[in-house]
A and B are shown apart, each in its own frame.
Chain A
Amino acid sequence: MAVIDHKAELSRAGANVRSRAGAVIFFARRYPLGAIGALIMLAFVTTAVFADVIATFDPLTTNARASLAPPSDTHPLGADFMGRDMLARIIYGARISLAVGVGATLLGCLIGTAVGLMSGFFGGWVDLIVQRLMDIMQALPLLVMALVMAASLGPSLGNTIIAIAIPLVPNVARIIRSNTLALREMPFVEAARAVGMSETRIAFTHVLPNTMAPLIVLATAQLGAAILVESALAFLGLGVPEPHPSWGRMLSESAAEYVRTAPWLVIFPGVAISAVVFGTNLLGDAVRDMLDPRQRF
Chain B
Amino acid sequence: MDPVLPSQSATHAQAAAQPVLQVDDLQTYFYTRIGLVKAVDGVSFSLRRGETLAIVGESGCGKSVTALSLMRLVADPPGRIVGGAVRLDGIDLLGLDATAMRRVRGKEISMIFQEPMTSLNPVMTIGRQISEALMLHGAALRKRARARTLEMLQLVGIPDPMERVKEYPHQLSGGMRQRAMIAMALACNPKVLIADEPTSALDVTIQAQILELMASLRHKLGTAMILITHDLGVVAETADRVIVMYAGRKVEEATVEELFAQPLHPYTRGLMRSIPRLALMRHGTASAGRLQEIPGTVPALSALPAGCAFAPRCAFASDICRREYPRYEEKRAGHRAACWHSDRLGGAAHG
Residue contact A195 to B105, C-beta cutoff 8 Å: yes
B310 close to chain A: CB less than 8 A? no
Residue contact B136 to A197, C-beta cutoff 8 Å: yes
Q: Do A191 and B137 form a contact, CB below 8 Å, given A197-B102, A198-B102, A205-B132?
A: no
A12 close to chain B: CB less than 8 A? no
Most buried by B among A190, A205, A212: A190
B107 touches which of A193, A196, A205 (Cβ 8 Å)? A196
Residue contact B122 to A195, C-beta cutoff 8 Å: no
Q: How far is the CA of A212 from the CA of B110 in the complex (A)?
A: 30
Q: How far is the CA of A190 from the CA of B122 in the complex (A)?
A: 14
A209 close to chain B: CB less than 8 A? yes
Q: Which chain A residues (190-215) contact chain B, with CB distance < 8 Å?
A: 190-198, 205-206, 209-210, 212
Residue contact A186 to B118, C-beta cutoff 8 Å: yes
**Residues of chain B with a CB closer than 8 A to A197's CB:** 102, 106, 132, 136
B217 close to chain A: CB less than 8 A? no
A188 close to chain B: CB less than 8 A? yes
Residue contact B110 to A188, C-beta cutoff 8 Å: no
**Residues of chain A with a CB closer than 8 A to B73's CB:** 190, 193-194
B277 close to chain A: CB less than 8 A? no
Residue contact A209 to B123, C-beta cutoff 8 Å: yes
Q: Tell me the total A-B contact number using a CB cutoff of 8 A.
A: 63
Chain B nearest Cβ from A83, distance in angstroms:
55
B120 close to chain A: CB less than 8 A? yes
A187 close to chain B: CB less than 8 A? yes
Residue contact A210 to B123, C-beta cutoff 8 Å: yes
Chain B nearest Cβ from A131, distance in angstroms:
21
Q: Which chain B residues (104-130) contact chain A, with CB distance < 8 Å?
A: 104-107, 110-111, 113, 115, 118-124
Most buried by B among A187, A194, A197: A194
B121 touches which of A188, A193, A196 (Cβ 8 Å)? A188
Q: How far is the CA of A193 from the CA of B119 in the complex (A)?
A: 11
Q: Which chain A residues (164-222) contact chain B, with CB distance < 8 Å?
A: 186-188, 190-198, 205-206, 209-210, 212
> Whose C-beta in chain B lies nearest to the C-beta of A194?
B111
Residue contact A195 to B110, C-beta cutoff 8 Å: yes
Q: How far is the CA of A98 from the CA of B113 in the complex (A)?
A: 48
Q: Do A195 and B133 form a contact, CB below 8 Å, given A187-B113, A187-B115, A190-B113?
A: yes
Q: Do A194 and B105 form a contact, CB below 8 Å, given A205-B132, A206-B121, A209-B123?
A: yes
Chain A nearest Cβ from B26, distance in angstroms:
18
Residue contact B113 to A196, C-beta cutoff 8 Å: no
Chain B nearest Cβ from A203, distance in angstroms:
13
B103 close to chain A: CB less than 8 A? yes
> Whose C-beta in chain A lies nearest to the C-beta of B107?
A196
**Residues of chain A with a CB closer than 8 A to B40's CB:** none
Residue contact B106 to A196, C-beta cutoff 8 Å: yes
Chain B nearest Cβ from A213, distance in angstroms:
8
Residue contact B124 to A196, C-beta cutoff 8 Å: no
Residue contact B71 to A194, C-beta cutoff 8 Å: yes
| Residues of A that sit less than 8 Å from B by CB | 186-188, 190-198, 205-206, 209-210, 212
The 7 tightest CB contacts between A and B, nearest first, are A195-B106, A196-B105, A196-B106, A195-B133, A194-B111, A187-B118, A187-B119
Q: What are 14 contact pairs spanning A and B, CB under 8 A?
A: A187-B113, A190-B119, A191-B119, A191-B120, A191-B181, A193-B105, A194-B105, A194-B106, A194-B185, A195-B106, A195-B110, A196-B103, A209-B121, A209-B124
Sample of 13 further A-B pairs with CB below 8 A, known A191-B181, A196-B103, A206-B124: A190-B113, A191-B184, A192-B121, A194-B73, A195-B106, A195-B110, A195-B132, A196-B104, A196-B105, A196-B106, A197-B102, A209-B124, A210-B122
